[in-house]
Amino acid sequence: MADQNFPLTGFGSLAIHGGHEQDPQYAHLTPIFATSTFVYDSAEQGMRRFSGEEKGYIYTRWGNPTMTEAADKIAAMESFGLTDGSGNPLAIKGYLQASGMAAISALFMSTLKTGDKILSHYSLYGGSQELMDKLLPDFGISAVIVDLRDLNKAEEALKADPAIKMIYLETPANPTLQCVDIEALTKLGKQYGKIIACDNTFATPYLQQPFRFGVDFVIHSTTKFLNGHGTSIGGAFLGRDIEFMNTWGGKVHKMLGGNSNPFDAFLLVNGMKTLEVRMERHCHNAMEVAGFFEGHAAVSKVNYTGLPNHPDHYIAAKQMRHPGAMLSIELKGGLQAGINMMNRLRMCTRTVSLGTCDTLMCHPASMTHYSVPKEKREQYGITDGLIRISVGMENIQDIIADINQAL
Ligand SMILES: *Cc1c(COP(=O)(O)O)cnc(C)c1O
């Protein structure tokens, strides 16, 4: 295995080697440690393990070597090239979760209590929005939702409501791709002594590192680009306060029981090794697809942050390496045009979710949002002719050929 002290200067090298520890049996890949518990040589060793005096695994809900490798790889990527206040490499601690939603739950439950509020943006992943709207209020925690692209509104909200304890960011946001300025909002939040958390699922650490701008926590749905192959649901909960993550943050993670499992962790580790090359190809193809749609007569709008006419183009360019692989278009023909396009696809995949090798297309008006009344959908920007695309890694001429014939 790679010498742990060899300085890796490239993100792609880190994605491959980061987080790996030599297996005692010399297996090349970290095996799937399919075991619920770990054993002790003696009662005394058990005592040392439980007291934390001796490093070692105890019970898989608390930790498992395959899960550790995945969590450490994500932490290494999120902190790649970053330094702390004293110029030392930034240390990040992460826990692998059963899903992105489990990661968000661990974040909220370990940092908030009754009476606290979360300040967030109105465009968020549906599950995060529902958690804030429907479940957290039962525990006395509520959300203040404003347009966080407007820093004045964000500051007004912070001034007006001292109960706000956390600013929760998701950028680019699912499904609108709206971006918020991580650096500016973190600076503002810190002036008011707030916790800043960021959902980095759409960007991945290759395109964007929220810890660079001083955020306290990053969460991921690893289900998407990090896994990259659509083989499992997963999440990660990461923090820069190592002391907190090793104590209360880790404790809450263990108590909630939203841990991942060795098999999914194994799939994730191997998927993440190719993150850099995958994202390069995804983003390159997305730019080409956006350009193709821009010139097409059946399309009234192309929503891609890589295009200079996108309202969040400059924020995305400031904080992301590339504009990502997600885009949406609006078809002039509305609902029927959307249904027709979906039905005519011959190579691209008709499905929800995102971040896999193949190009995925979803027509929210006839699929995910079919049961939402039209007026309500349109408030969220989900019009009849909206098609969302997770641009895959096929050869670009084939993607464009399929889209062209379907249009
Ligand atoms: C999918 C997604 C989630 C939820 O992740 P799961 O793994 O499905 O629980 C959270 N945030 C964003 C931005 C997502 O795309």
d(CA 223, CA 98) in angstroms, rounded, equals: 10
Q: How far is the CA of 173 from the centre of ligand 1 (A)?
A: 11
Task: Quote the ligand 1 centre to 294 CA distance (angstroms).
Answer: 29
223 and 107 within one domain: yes
- Verify that 76 and 216 share a domain, yes or no: yes
Give the chain's domain count: 2
CA angle, residues 97, 268, 100, in degrees to nearest 5:
30
Whether 331 and 226 map to the same domain: the answer is no
Answer yes or no: is the C-beta of 223 below 6 A from any ligand 1 atom.
Answer: yes
Give me the half-sphere count of Cα atoms (radius 13 Å) on the Cβ side of residue 332.
Answer: 8
Does one domain contain both 283 and 268? Answer: no
Q: Which helix (H) or strand (E) holds 335?
A: helix 334-344
Checking if the pLDDT of 369 tops 90, the result is no
Inside any domain, residue 51? no
For residues 266 and 121, membership in a common domain is answered with yes
Out of 209, 238, 272, a domain closes at 272
Beta bridge partners of 306: none
d(CA 266, CA 394) in angstroms, rounded, equals 25
> Is 127 a pocket residue for ligand 1 (Cβ < 6 Å)?
yes
Mutate to test the pocket of ligand 1, among 97, 101, 326 (most ligand atoms within 8 A of CB): 101
Query: Two tokens at 318?
Result: 């400031």
Expressed in angstroms and rounded, the spacing between residue 146 Cα and the centre of ligand 1 is: 21
pLDDT of residue 230: 96
CA of 131 to the centre of ligand 1 (A): 12
125 lines ligand 1 (CB under 6 A): yes
Range of the domain at 208: 11-31+63-272
Domain boundary among 272, 305, 325: 272
Please enumerate in sequence order all residues whose Cβ is within 8 A of that of 293, keeping only pairs 6 or more positions apart, or say none.
Answer: 299, 302, 327, 329, 403
How far does residue 89's CA lie from ligand 1's centre (Å)?
A: 29
Ligand 1 in reach of 154 Cβ (< 6 A):
no
Q: Which of 193, 244, 243, 237 is closest to 219 using CA atoms?
A: 237
**Ligand 1 atom nearest residue 102's Cα:** 9
The predicted model gives 369-393 an average pLDDT of 87
- Is pLDDT above 70 for 79? yes
Ligand 1: centre distance to CA 338 (Å): 25
Which of 107, 120, 201, 388 is the best mutation target for the ligand 1 pocket, counting ligand atoms within 8 Å of the beta carbon and taking the most? Answer: 201
Mean pLDDT across 232-248: 97
Question: What's the pLDDT tens digit per position in 96-135?
Answer: 999 999 999 999 999 999 999 999 998 899 899 999 999 9
Question: 327 pairs with which residues across the strands?
Answer: 389
**Nearest in space to 93 (alpha carbons), one of 116, 106, 74, 114:** 74
Mean per-residue pLDDT over the chain, rounded: 95
Looking only at the bridges linking them, the beta strands covering 386-390 and 360-362 are antiparallel
What pLDDT, on the 0 to 100 scale, is given for residue 1? 65
The CATH number of the domain holding residue 281 is 3.90.1150.10
My answer on whether 280 and 245 are in the same domain is no
Hunting for tokens 């960021």 — which residue is that?
A: 198
CATH number at residue 88: 3.40.640.10
In a domain? residue 102: yes
In the block, residue with structure tokens 């008011």 = 192
Q: Side chain identity at 64, as an amino acid letter?
A: N
| pLDDT confidence of residue 16 | 97
* Pair 189, 225 in one domain: yes
* Domain membership flag for residue 3: no
- Verify that 314 and 244 share a domain, yes or no: no
Atom of ligand 1 at shortest distance to CA of 201?
13
pLDDT of residue 7 exceeding 90, the answer is no
Per-residue pLDDT tens over the stretch 155-211: 999 999 999 999 999 999 987 889 999 999 999 999 999 999 999 999 999 999 999
Any ligand 1 atom below 6 A from CB of 237: no
Ligand 1 centroid – CA 383 distance (Å)? 22
CB-CB contact of 312 with 178 (8 Å): yes
Q: Which pTM value belongs to this model? A: 0.96
Query: Ligand 1 pocket, 235 CB below 6 A?
Result: yes
If asked whether residues 186 and 251 sit together in one domain, one would say yes
Identify the three-state secondary structure at position 389: strand
The whole-angstrom distance between residue 322's C-alpha and the CA centroid of its chain comes to 16
How many angstroms is it from 118 CA to the middle of ligand 1?
18
Q: Could you tell me if residue 40 is inside a domain?
A: no
**Distance in Å from the first CA to the final CA of the chain:** 50
Edge to edge, the sheet with strand 349-350 lists 299-303, 326-331, 386-390, 360-362, 349-350
Position 20 scores a pLDDT of: 94
Partners of 389 in the beta sheet? 327, 361
Q: Which of 272, 295, 326 is the last residue of a domain?
A: 272
Taking residues 227-242, what's their average pLDDT?
Answer: 97
